[in-house]
Amino acid sequence: MKEGRWLVPPAVRPVLQALAAAGHDSYLVGGAVRDIVLGRSPHDLDVATSARPEEIKRLFARTIDTGIRHGTVAVGTEDGWIEVTTFRSDGPYLDGRHPQYVVFESRLESDLARRDFTMNAMALTMDGELVDPFGGRSDLQLGRLACVGDPQRRFREDGLRLMRALRFAVTYDLELAPATKAALWEVCDAIRPVAKERIGQELLRLSEGHWYRRIELLAGCPLWQTIGGPLALLPIAVAAIRQRYRPMQVDAPPPTGLPAIALWYAMVDGGPQHAYQLALQFALGRRQALWLRAATTLIQRLVCDSTQSWSAADLFATNREVAQEAAYACAWLFADTPEVVRGAWRAIEQQPLWTLADLAVSGRELQVLGANGKDIGRLLTILRDAVLAREVANTREALMALAARERVRLHAEKGEES
């Protein structure tokens, strides 16, 4: 981290200049400042100002009342929309998620004092001067995540901050400050009012970070049991990874995102179904639920017996993209036994069939043999299983010959039944 001044993104400068010209204090705040201090590219650009919402709307031609009751107005610029919020302090948090009301303030420090973590309670002037009343930059230099003020109060105000603490610790590779960690352990019940969808989104963002570097934190945190459901198994899963594997010493990076979640649940009994339920309960979506169940199934096959590679039937039950992501996850998991991974990739490369559409014959062609109705479905299933078992080549000639024989057999069976 450099000393002195930082460069304020050009996209936000016109907004800061317009507010200053009208006599208002204004600053770039929040995550963008944190990322600039860390030398990363900032994303969400948020401005805090002494101007009231009605004054903000008078100053700019294009505005949207995105949260005007709490002082937030989105301002349209050539580079997109920037949220501009009046300095404020929060009233009581009666629902464990949102303040009952806000009080507009005239000083930046009052606004920064209500924020969750010190690294998110910094601001930049238009000239790039850092305003850091709570030592956020120092905490970042020390690799530490600390709450602003009383940690228990911060977490009880908004239970989602418990998940955000874990997510920030993982994605920014930070240690929890002792008081912050103690509070997180003590007030886990503050998570109860939080919507499952918000928890799911934080979990997904956490999984995209350097989770293995913080595996002790994830394995030991009691928050997962408080949330319950499939997440209660997460400490068991990551503890099993920590105990059985040492892939951090090799070059292959740990999987992130959905493949990471699939890997976690591959370590517990019933993992595929738990992963599926996780996605549904925490609103990750049905498509992601099916993806997780399929990927977890493949990874767990090798976890349970690394001497057996994936069968053609295993791969047919999923798709090529899922299988490839599972193989990449296994490349990290089985870094010490690369032959396991080579077997997985060989199975993918030699897979004879991924969908029924890959069969060299179609249901319409089977009608030539006199098959119709349910017989067509039964014949396609027979052909599929024969190709997957490598009993017949996936060519039109071979499949039509097999279908003709099976058609005779099915016809004979019907005659016996009648």
Highest mean pLDDT among 130-139, 302-311, 330-339: 130-139
Which residue shows structure tokens 């039937």? 313
Tens of pLDDT along 342-378? 999 999 999 999 999 999 999 989 988 887 888 899 9
Q: List the structure tokens of 133.
A: 């009343």
End-to-end CA distance of the chain: 84
As a three-state string, the secondary structure of 242-303 is: HHHCCHHHCCCCCCCCHHHHHHHHCCCCCHHHHHHHHHHHCCCCHHHHHHHHHHHHHHHHHH
pLDDT score of 246: 60
> How many CA atoms does the CB half-sphere of 226 hold within 13 Å?
20
- Tell me the H-state helices in 5-89: 13-21, 31-37, 53-59
Structure tokens at 304: 């349970």
Give the sign of the dihedral formed by CA 10, CA 14, CA 15, CA 19. positive
Q: Give the span between the Cα atoms of 16 and 319, in whole angstroms.
A: 50
Residue 302 and residue 341 in contact, taking contact as beta carbons nearer than 8 Å: no
Q: What is the pLDDT of residues 129-178, one digit of tens each?
A: 999 999 999 999 999 999 999 999 999 999 999 999 999 999 999 999 99
pTM (predicted TM-score): 0.89
Query: Tell me: the pLDDT tens digits for 77-109?
Result: 998 999 999 999 888 776 667 777 788 899 999
Beta-strand pair 88-90/102-104: antiparallel
How many CB atoms neighbour CB 410 within 10 A?
17
How far apart CA 331 and CA 340 sit, in angstroms, is 8
